[in-house]
Amino acid sequence: MALTRRIIPCLDLKNGRVVKGTHFEDLRDAGDPVELAARYNEQGADEVVFLDITASKEARKTIIDLISRAADQLFLPLTVGGGIRTNDDITAILRAGADKVSINTAAVQNPAIISEGAAAFGTQCIVLAMDVRRNFQEAEGTNPIRLPDGSTCWYEVVTHGGSRPTGIDAIRWAKEGEERGAGEILLTSMETDGTKEGFDIPITEAIASATSIPVIASGGVGTLGHFYDGFVYGKADACLAASVFHFGEYTIKDVKEYLAAKGVPVRL
């Protein structure tokens, strides 16, 4: 029996509202997070991700309140990320009603948070979020990946909303995250985020092949075919999208019916 593939809407949050941009910039308002999450729940989403993209101590109260309100209405897993730095942060978010936390910048700065979080809350609660970007300058200890145009690059992990390069090779970091106890990887390519030109298949496939935990593909959906490509060519376990859902281009049902017709196992 093939494992069911998941469709996950992602809600980027700023000041208590859902926003969406391109390459993490030019943000526009996309609505109320609790209303949108409830709509996706009704449409048959497999889970929902909240990302507090401007997380700060001031915004933390806002997000806790939002999680509580959303969790009251949702009957599907809720993953929350943004500004999580300590086990106390993880505790607060899970207590508010989230099922999983997504950790990005803090994991790069302090990889022990992955192992500590997995030990305290279980691997199923810890999602390693990775923002990556192509780097065409050769560097020792990196994994070269061939792109469709025949050129070769390696993928570098970037933090702080894609603004800070780390020098860390994405495949190496994914493997370390798995070893430390992450239960899933949420992979966003800065090359494709918000472009509507499709997922970054080369890095998605490379990380799915290099690890044995589920990989969620993120960044770049514009057509129904892009979901198919993410699963079939990217080998992703789940596909995450934002603007195509927020602005009503497709419903979750549209995506699942299309995939089912193409032989991809989904929960209808």
Angle at 2 between CA 155 and CA 250, to 5 degrees: 65
Cα gap 185→14, rounded to integer Å = 23
Catalytic-residue membership of 149: no
For residue 23 the two structure tokens come to 């390459």
Q: Which helix (H) or strand (E) holds 171?
A: helix 170-180
In the set 46, 52, 131, 200, the catalytic residue is 131
**Of 180, 251, 242, 182, nearest in space to 217 by CA:** 242
Listed in order, strand segments (DSSP E) in 176-267 are 184-189, 215-218, 238-241
- Going from the C-alpha of 224 to that of each of 10, 130, 227, 241, 254, the distances in angstroms are 16, 24, 6, 11, 8
Catalytic-residue membership of 29: no
- Going from the C-alpha of 60 to that of each of 16, 42, 90, 131, the distances in angstroms are 10, 27, 12, 22
Q: Which residues are identified as catalytic?
A: 12, 131
